[in-house]
Amino acid sequence: MQSFRTELENPIVEKDILDLERKIALFRDGKIDEEKFRSLRLARGVYGQRQQGVQMVRIKLPYGRVTSAQLRRICKVSEEYSIGRLHITTRQDIQIHFVSLDRTPELWAELEKDDVTLREACGNTVRNVTASETAGIDPKEPFDVTPYADATFRYFLRNPICGEMGRKFKMSFSSSGEDNALSYLHDLGFIAKVKTVDGQEVRGFKVLLGGGLGSQPRHADAISDFVETDQIIPFTEAVLRIFDRHGERARRNKARMKFLVKDLGIETFLDLVEKEKKALPYSTFPIEFEAYEAAKTLPNPESPTLDSAPGLDFELWKLTNVLPQKQTGYVSVGVRVSLGDFYLDQARPLADLVEKYASGEVRLTLRQNILIRDVREDLVPFFYQELKKIGLAQRGYNTLGDITACPGTDTCNLGIASSTGIAVELEKVILDEYPQYLQNTDLVIKISGCMNACGQHNMAHIGFQGMSMKSGKTVIPALQVLLGGGNLGDGNGRFADKVTKVPSRRGPQALRVLLDDFEKNAGGKDFLGYYDQQGQIYFYDLLKELSDASTVTEADSVDWGHEEAYEVAVGVGECAGVMIDLVATLLLEALEKLELGKTALEEGRWSDSIYHHYAGLINAAKALLLSDGTSTNSYANIISLFDEKYVQNGKIDLGSSFADKVYQINQHEPTPEFAQAYAKQAMEIYSLLKTFREAEVEA
């Protein structure tokens, strides 16, 4: 690998990027284990693709905000390092595909020139902090959640607590009780609220904890109807510390926080959170919002000339793609991006358009679309005209015809069936046969290529999950049909029921059957009311003929978007940063964490120093346990097992138990004195453990 110069102003970011370059070189030289290296690159947004030898790079865009300059920068990077296609995810990120691993450090450096990061976009980290795309313009919002989402993102980026947890952690901020950031399916969800105290309006959030999708969806618990804004970051930090310490680390499919909350019980979990507060660097963390709100201005550009008068197509588009704002005289324009994929010849003109005639930014949405904000009402025909020129003027924004789908078998290792292929076909069915649904915003279709639910299929009114099924000895692509999910608002939601499985090729007909029956038998009810009225068995019977595997034909063996017969080809998933730790690697990592702790100590970051030294001790103890074949499944488990295997029997003399030493972390405030004492103790224990291991190897 040839080294490059980053020329970045931020030394922390520069060090991060150069570290990635150095570790890629070590990996190429065979000095870092492949599985361990996977964990390292995932935490830097570099994700293995289904196709060998190339990577998907996930660009982390907090709450989906992208300025014109940032969008141009992403286009430049995609043009130089990728294939020119940008993919919007259901977490408001952008992904680019087919990137060479060796070029990811310089790609990252290019992005950082406009304050765009890859850090912790994948892996066992705090993932992108999402928020309502309408935050700041929503007529129903009590206040703009943008500065609170931004502060949360920045506080936990590179935070030592959450860079290497047992599994990923997701947060969202909803601007109003409509909960369009879907708090109920997040590890932590926040819904903006206000209340009056002594005649003063106080800002806060309704807080939900422990939600998630995947193969075992769990509805988050509402733990408080109102937490003041200055408590949000301390509370979140305490939650993350408990998750990091007690969360599962061995069984990947049980490692999300929803399982920890379920196992401990919500009261026990919250009691641990409360006890952790003493160790936090801040008891309150006021979030600056006045300056952000005061700096906001509305654009007032000169009116451009239209090429021609608007026609019927414009009127139809306006019905679904123009949204009201709370700012008088301004609206937002919804840009429907089919399957979240758009291209450089669309992105660059879009960046210019919003810079000149709107607020100079767009927000990526949870439904893989784009929202242009602060458009003066009289400019709406012009925006339609310009969007039409670049192929971004499809009507039906956020309607039934606007289907959400993950990449599935196109690029993902875990994809079982083509989610994008069937999504294209279903959109055709709606456009050609059910155009009235292009104005229906009360029905949602979502599709995932596997059970991990990246397309959020199990919270949709109509969901499809990619899978396979057998017809005799032939394996064919199939779709699990799920019905009855949906967002009910204010932190309440429902998950869809699994109804039946149909061959993928019959997916369009399954949709026709469902929509025809809905129109015939709903009796004025919405879809959820209709589903509850008919019941799960009714829909199983309704689709029974389509699910009959004995009637499949040769055509059913070819998945949508493919020409060859289907083959099951599922690789190793990287959604959760799969890891295989080696003893030497763990000891090296322990030392690296201790060195990070030393640096933090020198810089006066007492809490960070303490946590780095804590993590270093855990890694060193885990290395010794691994060396004698002892399996562990959480940090807390490592601490207790190390005492049992090494301290209580006198193999290693620490002067007291390992638990007593380590757990000082949550028994003291993070003062300079304690940070220095904890660092000194950690280095002494590490030296003892390293010496023990060396003697063990020599023996």
Q: Model confidence over 160-183: pLDDT tens digits?
A: 998 889 999 999 999 999 999 999
Query: The domain 583-698: what is its CATH number?
Result: 1.20.120.330
Q: What is the mean pLDDT of residues 434-463?
A: 91
Q: Model confidence over 493-502: pLDDT tens digits?
A: 999 999 999 9
Query: The domain 404-557: what is its CATH number?
Result: 3.30.413.10
Q: Which CATH class is domain 297-389?
A: alpha beta
Beta carbons of 594 and 682 less than 8 angstroms apart: yes
CATH architecture of the domain with range 11-112? Alpha-Beta Complex (3.90)
Check residue 577 and give its pLDDT: 35
Beta carbons of 32 and 585 less than 8 angstroms apart: yes
Q: What is the mean pLDDT of residues 375-400?
A: 97
Judged against a pLDDT cut of 90, whether residue 53 lies above it is answered with no
Beta carbons of 414 and 377 less than 8 angstroms apart: no
DSSP, residue by residue, 591-656: HHHHHHHHHHHHTT-HHHHHHHHHHHHHHHHHHHHHHTT----SHHHHHHHHIIIIITTSSS--SS
Rounded distance between C-alpha atoms, residue 354 and residue 525, angstroms: 40
Q: What is the mean pLDDT of residues 92-96?
A: 97
Is 583-698 the same fold as 11-112? Answer: no
Q: Three-state DSSP class for 423?
A: helix
Angle at 437 between CA 431 and CA 440, to 5 degrees: 140
DSSP, residue by residue, 44-57: TTEEE-SSTT-EEE
Check residue 412 and give its pLDDT: 72
Rounded distance between C-alpha atoms, residue 174 and residue 143, angstroms: 10
Output the six-digit token pair for 673. 């004195």
Q: Which residue blocks in 100-171 are alpha helix, DSSP H?
A: 104-112, 146-156
DSSP, residue by residue, 248-267: --S-GGG-SHHHHHHHH-HH
Q: Three-state DSSP class for 111?
A: helix
Q: Which residues contact 168 (CB under 8 A, 6 or more apart)?
A: 123, 124, 125, 126, 127, 256, 575, 576, 577
Q: What is the mean pLDDT of residues 677-694?
A: 94
Which residue ranges make up each domain of the chain? 11-112, 130-292, 297-389, 404-557, 583-698
Judged against a pLDDT cut of 50, whether residue 1 lies above it is answered with no
Q: Which residues contact 176 (CB under 8 A, 6 or more apart)?
A: 132, 138, 140, 141, 142, 191, 192
Check residue 94 and give its pLDDT: 97
Beta carbons of 77 and 33 less than 8 angstroms apart: no
Nearest CA among 55, 42, 102 for reference residue 83:
55
DSSP, residue by residue, 505-569: GGHHHHHHHHHHHHHHH-TT--HHHHHHHH-HHHHHHHHHHHH-GGG--GGGGS-TT-SSPP---
Q: Three-state DSSP class for 238?
A: helix
Tell me how far CA of residue 85 lies from CA of 56, 95, 352, in angstroms. Answer: 12, 9, 18
Q: Model confidence over 478-524: pLDDT tens digits?
A: 999 999 999 999 999 999 999 999 999 999 999 999 999 999 999 99
Query: The domain 130-292: what is its CATH number?
Result: 3.30.413.10
Rounded distance between C-alpha atoms, residue 473 and residue 634, angstroms: 42
Rounded distance between C-alpha atoms, residue 222 and residue 189, angstroms: 9
Please state, for a pLDDT cut of 90, what percent of the chain lies above it.
Answer: 76
Measured in whole angstroms, the distance separating CA 451 from the mean position of its chain's CA atoms is 16
Q: What is the mean pLDDT of residues 622-650?
A: 93
Q: Is 221 left (phi over 0), alpha (psi -120 to 50) or beta?
A: beta
